[in-house]
Structure 1
């Protein structure tokens, strides 16, 4: 039906005419017979008497014009590199390569080129050298400028670093990652360097590399809150030579504890070596692995591969032992039918099961302190809870008391001075989940409190401040809705419950008020707590607690001390 009928309707008393809805004029439809009806008169009436409506009608019925030859050729012609749309697509392509770790050769892949050609036929895909030599440096400069502005606006930064060997080429890499808290108590993290590190890894060379990296970003050493590094002697001395405060990676320290406490014992080491040999057999033999899967399916077990460990990562050894114990029955059948280069004795199976039960809490803590939101404040509570677990006797300790005792001694040795370190102590006090509840005794807790008071006095304007602030009532403690999920969780809750009903005493009203309140749940966010409660602890300097809360940004437990 023609669009002109929007403005007309057929007359009820005479179907040969149509009435205009705009002026009620009756217009002939072209004759008396239905075969002669048309809309010419209606359109003519609309054009003569109602020009705006006719214009609207004409636009709605406009026929598409045939494109000219020039227009057809323009659609087939590639857009110039300076075209705004081309610039935008090329930038998005570069971001795609950088953000998703795509190889630069992706621009030469047939399927990828077909995809872009379908999405925009007029876009000419740039060559790999153009992406490498022009676009990547351009994006790098833009990101570097943005990151430089961010870090230069921060008064204190925490860093993580590590030296490791690339798995794809024979070269060593040195990383440097920065973390900080903004005014909204949101933690930020950015990788500043992952550069080739040639030559001997002496402390002098490492210290020189750090000086160079900090100078590259115009970061003064006075802004370096702390550097998280591994336990290697050259790295420890390098931080001392560079005059940078540093802390050891907790995950690395736990690695040393486990190796000294259990994995270095002759009987355990022998059992683990046999297990490693068994896993290696299936890893290097597709036929043996296929036969093991058939046995698993025959006894209604899910087909799972045995996990190979990495000797420098104790938790990978834990997962290897766990996979062996899970497949104990299929392995027994496999040995009886096909044989293995080595087998575990009954005594070794029992020994590995005991090792697994003792190392369970270590695995749990390693996972927690290696998470992306781990903080320096988590270290002292983790050590306290772990030591209490190892020294507490239970009915399930039969046959593993000696192991637990050895591990407890290794924990005491490796973490002997953790509570005396001001960075760890102050971080723990300032974490509302822990406060002064997780120190080994009241004397150490009191010493940590004095460290925090001295830190407060060092801040500008705090030494002369009067303790006459009008404090609000402390909020009621948020009930914990989640039940403990492990033995370590129950110990955490047991220690934290000691905060209920504690009175605030002492000369520093704000600090004692804070410490006197019940600890928040471990599932809550400590930085969010400070964001909400900073107005409850007024100081002459508004960002005092924000300044002190920077100690919470120390990512005390990255598994490899670097982020890539």
Structure 2
């Protein structure tokens, strides 16, 4: 709303002058609106990113860290909104205080080739390594059980994430990575984990699922953990979009379409872009 108001600032001023409105916004009020928009812009960026169809649970910890770092920085645009900025930072710290104790977020971030362990503070990095190690032991034991079962039944077929005033949310991701380019040694991790973490993170624009499809033979156990923790979007936004898409298939002019036909049309609508992307 405030962004739209700023875009129409000149038109609002002309309208107020033409019709001699009794009250208009002053220059300081317009400046305050601009600072509020600058303050809220990272929240909009983060909301749009986390609502994408390919958003993963691994995005949570890096995004929260980047947002907290941006809110803790001083900038020229803080004039008049410093109290609001501090309140937002406090709210973020309160709402996401337990994400480092939740294996879903920690392990997902660790196995995401874009983030790995670069977004964990020193005091929680060891804990994240232990969570990953636990999941890898589970994956190894499951694979050993499957191998023993296959050996007992050999005939069965095998199953086939400058200027401080101009800093943005995305700048914080790069800043955190630059500070943690060299991962810390951890004697409790396996050689496979050390090899994976020793490599530089891939670009944030790359797909972590495609990375694991290409590297599952190099890190088989971590790939199995990644398949478990990077398997679905971290929000219900995309499923809600699917319900909205149903209204485009079944409407007043197509109200007698069979359920199986409607299901096939929705399947094609949601998956055909993915198939065309893979063929490219």
TM-score of the pair, normalised by structure 1: 0.36
Task: Tell me what 1:535 maps to.
Answer: 217
Alignment pair present for 1:389 and 2:70 = yes
Q: Give 1:377's match in structure 2, choosing from 58, 61, 70.
A: 58
**Cα offset for 1:450?**
0.7
Q: Give 1:408's match in structure 2, choosing from 45, 67, 89.
A: 89
Check 1:396–1:351 CA distance in 2 against 1; reply closer, same or farther (3 A cut). closer
**Cα offset for 1:519?**
1.0
**Residue pairs, 1:217-232, within 5 angstroms:** none
Q: Give 2:224's match in structure 1, choosing from 515, 523, 546.
A: 546
Task: Tell me what 1:443 maps to.
Answer: 123
**Residue pairs, 1:97-496, within 5 angstroms:** 320-338=1-19, 343-439=24-120, 441-459=121-139, 461=141, 487-496=168-177
| Bigger Rg, structure 1 or 2 | 1
**Cα offset for 1:345?**
4.9
Alignment pair present for 1:519 and 2:197 = no
Measured against aligned partners, the alpha-carbon deviations of 1:370-412 in whole angstroms (never above 9, x if no partner) come to 1121111111100000000000123443333222211101111
Q: Distance in 1 between matches of 2:61 and 2:122?
A: 14
**Cα offset for 1:502?**
3.6
**Cα offset for 1:505?**
4.1
Q: Distance in 1 between matches of 2:131 and 2:52?
A: 28
Assess if the C-alpha contact under 8 Å between 2:35 and 2:78 holds in 1: no
SS in 2 for 1:459: helix
RMSD, matched Cα: 2.8
Q: Distance in 2 between matches of 1:464 and 1:559?
A: 37
Task: Tell me what 2:274 maps to.
Answer: none
Q: Distance in 2 between matches of 1:326 and 1:381?
A: 32
SS in 1 for 2:14: helix
Assess if the C-alpha contact under 8 Å between 2:61 and 2:119 holds in 1: yes
Q: Distance in 2 between matches of 1:500 and 1:347?
A: 43
Instruction: Specify which structure has the bigger relative contact order, considering alpha-carbon pairs within 8 angstroms and separated by 6 or more residues.
Output: 2
Q: Distance in 1 between matches of 2:89 and 2:239?
A: 25
Task: Tell me what 1:563 maps to.
Answer: 241
Task: Tell me what 1:314 maps to.
Answer: none
SS in 2 for 1:336: helix
Query: Number of matched residues?
Result: 221
Greater fraction strand = 1
Q: Distance in 2 between matches of 1:344 and 1:447?
A: 52
Assess if the C-alpha contact under 8 Å between 2:135 and 2:225 holds in 1: no
TM-score of the pair, normalised by structure 2: 0.70
Q: Distance in 2 between matches of 1:423 and 1:339?
A: 59
Check 1:341–1:448 CA distance in 2 against 1; reply closer, same or farther (3 A cut). farther
Q: Distance in 2 between matches of 1:558 and 1:356?
A: 27
Q: Distance in 2 between matches of 1:449 and 1:346?
A: 53
Measured against aligned partners, the alpha-carbon deviations of 1:317-349 in whole angstroms (never above 9, x if no partner) come to xxx211111111211221232366975455543
Q: Distance in 2 between matches of 1:337 and 1:457?
A: 74
**Cα offset for 1:460?**
5.2
Q: Distance in 2 between matches of 1:392 and 1:422?
A: 29
Assess if the C-alpha contact under 8 Å between 1:377 and 1:431 holds in 2: yes
Check 1:463–1:370 CA distance in 2 against 1; reply closer, same or farther (3 A cut). closer
Check 1:463–1:556 CA distance in 2 against 1; reply closer, same or farther (3 A cut). closer
